Amino acid sequence: MRKFALIALPYTWLVLLFFVPFLIVLKISLSDLALARPPYAPQLDLSAGWQGIKDFFGGLDFENFIWLTTDDLYWKAYLSSLKIAVISTLLTLMVGYPMAYGMAKAPEEWRPAMMMLVILPFSTSFLIRVYSWMGILSTEGYLNQFLLGLGLISEPLMILNTPVAVYIGIVYTYLPFMILPIYAALDKLDGSLLEAAEDLGCSRFTAFWLVTFPLSRSGMIAGCFLVFIPALGEFVIPSLLGGSETLMIGKVLYEEFFNNRDWPVASAVAVVLLLILIIPIVLFQRNQQKEREAGQ
């Protein structure tokens, strides 16, 4: 009974805050656009009794999903989002790993301060931080002024409103999600393993490659998922930094919803995005599970 009470809490949470909203979105995605409030039909009319329920389910169809396949805007947006998410995840890994490694190797007394520095950016609004990147990356921005001042370039670089700016934005924003799990894995690593590797003939570098790197793999995988999953549906960064050329599904979703006010198609886009994300989420869970087993 107590065990039941314990698991009931997270499950209630999950049902109320994930499953119910998902069902609502799924229902809207199966509806038709209507000039009404809310802007879709059918509505469930319980006062009409059995006939009302029948009408309601009869009004649902897959039209919007079929629509997604007929306009190439959507699958291009999905693919482009996937590409941007994959590349920026790898970039975040490349930037984050050395930072996590440095933290794990730093003297014990410095680590809390370094940890603070990693999570400090969260204390300011995400939106303000992305805006400030606009100030840095624009043609008259600090970066160009700095490079021009050094004489490294003669023409200002076009970075803002290109995919490069999106990569920079994503890497910057999600870096802590990469660093923390890798740091956790490296911190757990038993130092005597490296000594054993050296004792058996490894140089420092091969010891890193044969011991540290594989043993931080689960941290890397966790970090990659934590970056990849939100990056795939990212909306703010591409719309503020990416300009009109950057096609991402989050932006498409936003436009369908607010500009076209086509809630059913927007919902269909969201449902497909969720289905795409389920694969990495399941893989992520599996990675965590495996690590827990190995840790015992």
Out of 45, 61, 199, 245, the only residue in the binding site for another protein (CB under 8 A) is 199
Closest to another protein by CB, 97 vs 177, is 97
Closest to another protein by CB, 136 vs 189, is 189
Out of 178, 211, 222, 252, the only residue in the binding site for another protein (CB under 8 A) is 211
User: Environment class of residue 41 by beta-carbon count within 10 Å: exposed (0-12), middle (13-18) or buried (19+)?
Assistant: middle
Q: How many CA atoms lie within 13 A of 76 on its CB side?
A: 8
Minimum distance of another protein from residue 177's CB (angstroms): 24
How would you write 157-226 as a 3-class SS string?
CCCCCCHHHHHHHHHHHHHHHHHHHHHHHHHHCCHHHHHHHHHCCCCHHHHHHHHHHHHCHHHHHHHHHH
Give yes or no for residue 206 binding another protein (CB under 8 A): yes
Segment contacting another protein by CB under 8 A, of 59-67, 138-146, 211-219, 266-274: 211-219
Minimum distance of another protein from residue 228's CB (angstroms): 23
Give yes or no for residue 296 binding another protein (CB under 8 A): yes
Region 212-271 residues binding another protein, contact defined as CB under 8 A? 214-215, 217
Segment contacting another protein by CB under 8 A, of 18-26, 33-41, 185-193, 261-269: 185-193
C-alpha 225/C-alpha 218 separation (Å) is: 11
Give yes or no for residue 203 binding another protein (CB under 8 A): yes
Closest to another protein by CB, 45 vs 195, is 195
> Residue 10 to residues 126, 132, 283, 295: CA-CA distances in angstroms?
28, 38, 21, 24
C-alpha 241/C-alpha 163 separation (Å) is: 8
In this structure, the number of other CB atoms found within 10 A of the CB of residue 139 comes to 14
Minimum distance of another protein from residue 292's CB (angstroms): 12
Out of 45, 71, 190, 245, the only residue in the binding site for another protein (CB under 8 A) is 190
**Residue 15: beta bridge partners?**
none
Pair of tokens at residue 151: 């004489």
Minimum distance of another protein from residue 193's CB (angstroms): 5
